[in-house]
Amino acid sequence: MRTLYRHARLATMTDPVPWGWIEHGALLVDGEHLGWVGADGEIPAGLAVDAEVDLGGALVTPGLVDCHTHLVYGGDRAAEFELRLRGASYEQIARAGGGIRSTLAATRHASDAALFDAAAARARCLMAEGVTTIEIKSGYGLSEAHEARCLAVARRLGRELPLTVRTTSLAAHALPPEFEGRQEDYVDTLIEWLPSQLGAGLVDAVDAFCDHIAFTPAQTERIFSAARHLGLPVKLHAEQLSDQGGAALAARFGALSCDHLEHLSGAGIAAMAEAGTVAVLLPGAYYFLRDTQLPPVAALRAAGVPIAIATDHNPGSSPVLSLLLMINMACTLFRLTPEEAWRGVTVHGARALGLADRGLLAPGQRADLAVWDAEHPREMAYRFGHNPCRRAFHGGVERPR
């Protein structure tokens, strides 16, 4: 099916024009991909189409990419939110057996059906705002069987919803209670799980939480070496609570992304720039934890490091289900420009997942599109608490509202 969509404002996110802007634009959806994109007055003569649709001046952008989520888990941590408001720190709660371990227990107790239903409801919230691709990390099972079933739930979401799901193995998220005092043994064990996860088609990348309350740089390096041996790309929760040199370590392995980065050093920035590693900033976690250490946005910008933005949806430090709100927070809290924030949830978000076929409106790209009741994308950076997404297309097929 070849459908020509006309009379639209296009934010293509292509260079060199700011926003890749086309004021009076049109685009051809040819099956799952874009066949032509350009000015409405420059449609090629004799272009063969099966249907033509007038968008009436609506704004069209690439479908949004949420490149860092922890969408599959059981329970919630609302009680910990209350404790935090009373003065307990994230670290204190984690060391007292709360935090990730609390969600671990709830996740292990939940059935596969319950995990799927809860995750699907969360995914639909993101989809309603024009999200067409998400990453889902494991990390709340922390045993071979429970990590595998969480990854399987994520894969099922991608099969049953009109949404692309990329899965990441994050068994190095926290130390499970059965390995208390045996962190090195746990690292050995989780490395042994990777071949079976890969063989079962459950995993696209490997991640770790490298920080003083999680895993050391040496342990992270062992995990990444195992991932590289299997041909799996790596990502890293890096420099969120302290500077462990994790970003530079990850860059040595050609990491797709380093995420959080509030305590990122100049050396880490230089290493990421050289490796082409994307900086994924997570304003929801920064806000929710009432952090005061800003990520070094100006230095990342100056070094030419691509910046992506994501929800980091998780039950403990960023229970947010609005990527549009993250665009606003990226601008207000981190001082990104609206265009930088939008590129962070389109082209750079896709790059953080190793996907070069989306995030832009250009011929040959996937026809993942969002249509908005707005004149310009900056309106969504400026205004929050509403959802102007009118229509969304995943692989050229319009999703039901």
Q: What is the pLDDT of residues 272-300, one digit of tens each?
A: 999 999 999 999 999 998 899 999 999 99
Note the Cα 190 to chain centre separation in Å: 23
Tokens 């995943």 label which residue?
394
Q: What local confidence, expressed as pLDDT, does residue 177 receive?
A: 93
List the single range of 96-105, 169-178, 240-249, 319-328 with lowest mean pLDDT.
Answer: 96-105
Q: How confident is the model at residue 367 (pLDDT cuts 50, 70, 90)?
A: very high
Q: What local confidence, expressed as pLDDT, does residue 180 receive?
A: 94
- List beta partners, residue 8: 25
**Cα(12)–Cα(284) distance, integer angstroms:** 26
**pLDDT surpasses 90 at 93:** no
- Give me the chain's average pLDDT, please: 97
**pLDDT surpasses 80 at 94:** no
Q: How confident is the model at residue 311 (pLDDT cuts 50, 70, 90)?
A: very high
Structural contact between residues 176 and 142, judged by C-beta atoms closer than 8 angstroms = yes
User: DSSP class of residue 44?
Assistant: P
CATH number for the domain running over 64-351: 3.20.20.140
pTM over 0.95: yes
Tokens 């981190």 label which residue?
334
Strand order in the sheet with 64-66: 64-66, 131-137, 164-172, 205-210, 235-238, 257-260, 278-281, 307-309
The CA-atom distances, in angstroms, between 171 and each of 65, 106, 156, 215, 382 are 23, 16, 19, 11, 37
pLDDT, mean of residues 126-130: 98
Q: How confident is the model at residue 98 (pLDDT cuts 50, 70, 90)?
A: confident
**pLDDT surpasses 90 at 84:** no
32: left (phi over 0), alpha (psi -120 to 50) or beta: alpha
For 2-61+360-398, CATH number out of 3.40.1590.10, 2.30.40.10, 1.10.10.60, 3.50.50.60 equals 2.30.40.10
Residues of the chain with CATH 2.30.40.10: 2-61+360-398
The H or E element that residue 288 is part of is helix 283-288
pLDDT, mean of residues 305-312: 98
**Cα(177)–Cα(311) distance, integer angstroms:** 28
pLDDT, mean of residues 317-330: 97
Tens-digit pLDDT profile for residues 29-83: 999 999 999 999 999 999 999 999 999 999 999 999 999 999 999 999 998 888 8
Q: How confident is the model at residue 173 (pLDDT cuts 50, 70, 90)?
A: very high
User: DSSP class of residue 16?
Assistant: S
Q: What local confidence, expressed as pLDDT, does residue 385 receive?
A: 94
Q: What local confidence, expressed as pLDDT, does residue 95 receive?
A: 75
pLDDT, mean of residues 365-373: 98
pLDDT, mean of residues 115-121: 98
Q: What local confidence, expressed as pLDDT, does residue 43 receive?
A: 97
Q: Residue 227 is which amino acid? A: A
Q: What local confidence, expressed as pLDDT, does residue 82 receive?
A: 87
Q: Residue 284 is which amino acid? A: G
Q: What local confidence, expressed as pLDDT, does residue 101 receive?
A: 84
Residues of the chain with CATH 3.20.20.140: 64-351
Q: How confident is the model at residue 19 (pLDDT cuts 50, 70, 90)?
A: very high
Q: What local confidence, expressed as pLDDT, does residue 91 receive?
A: 77
